[in-house]
Every structure is written in structure tokens, then in C-alpha cells.
Amino acid sequence: MISKTKTKYTWEGWESSGKEDWVFSVKHPCELIGVHAKLIDAQLRESEKVECCIYSPRVSSTSTSFGLKAAESSSGVCVTDKRFIISNNKHIKGIEPTLSSINFEDVLYFNIGSAMLLSWFSLGFVNHGELNRATIIFSSNGKHHFQKALRVFKKHSLAINTDDFKLDSSSPAAFIHRIKDKIHRDYLKTLLSDQEKCLLTFSCRYLWEKILNKRSLLKRKKQDAYLISKATVLLTNKAFMIARDAVEHSIGTSVDIFNISLDKVKSIILFEENLDSEKIYKLKISFNEEVKQDMLDISFTDIDEETRIFLNNIGGLLESTKKEKY
């Protein structure tokens, strides 16, 4: 660990355009470039340990194939043992850089994924009772840096006692081969933290709900419709993880990992519905925090009976568990 008392900024005096060609990681925010070094360093507390820092130059894209959006800006990310500190600079005269601090305890879920040359990192967190998003879109050559940052977050997250689940728990190295889809497997294994235990995996088809506007001679009518993509679910003692392909993309060329922290989950309820003679399953998830939002819905199909029974019981199992920290 490099002490906060370090006062010399590595790149002080050098003006950053925000258009550098690479995403890079450093040990301390003083080594970041542009305004990010001083902004983040000034926020550090003596009581926290710096785990890793990332600089990400701006890219021209402001949205992803999974609906996540971000401003065009360069970003600095510092991950400590307690929180994320994120700075953003749009490099526009008259617009000041911004800084946000997101405590680990407030993060409900995260996304990370890529589509060819572009990748994204997004945190879903609670701020004053409202659900907020912090998203960075970056060049895919820096994906491994953000994966490391999320492993740090998970390392410091609470695990749940899974003894009542009646499932064998395994280390990631011993379990990961059970994931059938190689692309999903490669994505998921990069997000498993030290001492995280794997419990269950299954393949399915993820359902994306879409509102269609149908017109007739007399009126316009809105109708729910579903788009389907390939998916893999991985349950650990820390997270409910879903690897999802994007719709209307070649298989494996655009993948998003959605990671829900189990220690933040208050309840999980499984509903079954029939759609055009096909059975679909909806997981409705609520969180411990008082969040002003509807329950989180996850819909999928094509699961076996054993998996259905487990998902039907998982809500009760979670309620009976005692949270513990490794």
C-alpha cells in the first residue's frame, strides 16, 4: 500500500485531453492523469486502504446494447476496502469535473460486459433512498482492470451461510468447468473473488420485455412482447450472477454479466406464467434497503424441474440464512 501522505503527483503539469489510447491501472490515485489524481486523492481517508485505481479515457459511444448509458468523459476509479471513488471529466470548457463516492454497503448490483471493441462497467446503488447508476463505457483492452475492481468489491462483500441450501459448495477452480457455454464461463470466472463458493449453475434463455406499439385504423395499442437471448446463471454464496447475450447480435459477440449481491436481497419470489403455450419464469427480487422502485424482475425459460424447485425455494432459504463475512 502506498500512503496517502504521498504529495507528488506523477503527471502534475501535464494536461490530459481525455483521448489517450489505453485504459491503465495504478496503485495509488496520485499516479492517475489529468484532474482525476488530485480529485480522488483529496477524498481518501486515513482509515481506508487503496486496493486499485483505474484511468479510462473517453470514448465516443454513450450507450450499450444492453441499455446502459454514460456521458462521454474520461474517468478515474479508485477502489478501497470500503468504497468506490469515481471522477468524471467531460473535457468541455465551463463544465467542471464531478466526483462521487459509493460505499460497498450501498451497491445492490453491478453490470460488466463487452461488445467487440467497447466494454462497460456499471454500479446500481442506493443514494438517499433512490436507486442510482454509475456507468463507464471504455475500450475493451482495459476490461481486465475493471474485472479486478469488481473482484475487490466482492472480496469485501458479505457471504451468506448456505448450509440449508443442501447444495455442494465448491471453489471456483473446481466448479467452473460445469458451466457449459465457454464464452459465458470465461466471463463469469473473471468475477469470482477469493474464497467465493460456487453452488449452482444452469443454462436458460433470458427474456427481454419490450413494449410494442400496434396500430389499427382506429387506435394505437401497446402490447408486451419478449425477445430471447442465450443465458447462463451462476449462484454463489455471495451473488446471483447472470451471463446474457444481447439480442440481435451474433452469439457471444455482445455479453453482459449482471451480478446481484445476495447480502442485499430481502426476498426472492418465483412466478410461473404461460406465454403462447410456453412456460416462462419470473424472479421478483426486493432489497433490504428502502429503495423507491418496483421489485427487480428477471424472466427466463427453458429450465429443468430440479432448477425450478430450487428457485421456488430460494426465497425461504435466504430468509433463514445468517449472514457471515469471510
What pLDDT is attached to residue 15? 80
Rounded distance, CA 102 to CA 107, Å?
7
Rounded distance, CA 272 to CA 61, Å?
38
pLDDT in tens, 192-205: 998 899 999 999 99
What domains does the chain contain, in order, with CATH numbers? 24-155 (2.30.29.30), 159-324 (2.30.29.30)
> Is residue 278 classed as helix, strand or coil in its secondary structure?
strand
Q: Is 308 left (phi over 0), alpha (psi -120 to 50) or beta?
A: alpha
Instruction: Indicate the pTM of the whole model.
Output: 0.90
DSSP string over 33-68: -TTHHHHHHTT--TT--EEEEEEE---S--B-TTS-
What pLDDT is attached to residue 326? 42
What pLDDT is attached to residue 278? 84
What pLDDT is attached to residue 314? 85
Rounded distance, CA 197 to CA 88, Å?
35
Q: Is 94 left (phi over 0), alpha (psi -120 to 50) or beta?
A: left
SS3 for 156-193 is CCCEECCHHHCCCCECHHHHHHHCCCHHHHHHHHCCCC
What pLDDT is attached to residue 171? 93
Q: Are 204 and 308 spatial neighbours (Cβ–Cβ below 8 Å)? A: no
Mean pLDDT per block of 10 residues along the chain (326 residues) reads 57 85 95 95 95 96 93 97 97 96 97 96 93 96 97 94 80 94 97 93 89 52 75 96 87 90 92 86 87 81 91 80 48
pLDDT in tens, 228-241: 999 999 999 999 99
Q: Are 60 and 72 spatial neighbours (Cβ–Cβ below 8 Å)? A: yes
Rounded distance, CA 247 to CA 229, Å?
6
What residues contact residue 168 under an 8 Å CB cut-off, 6+ apart? 199
- The alpha helices in 136-287, defined as continuous H runs, are 143-155, 172-175, 182-189
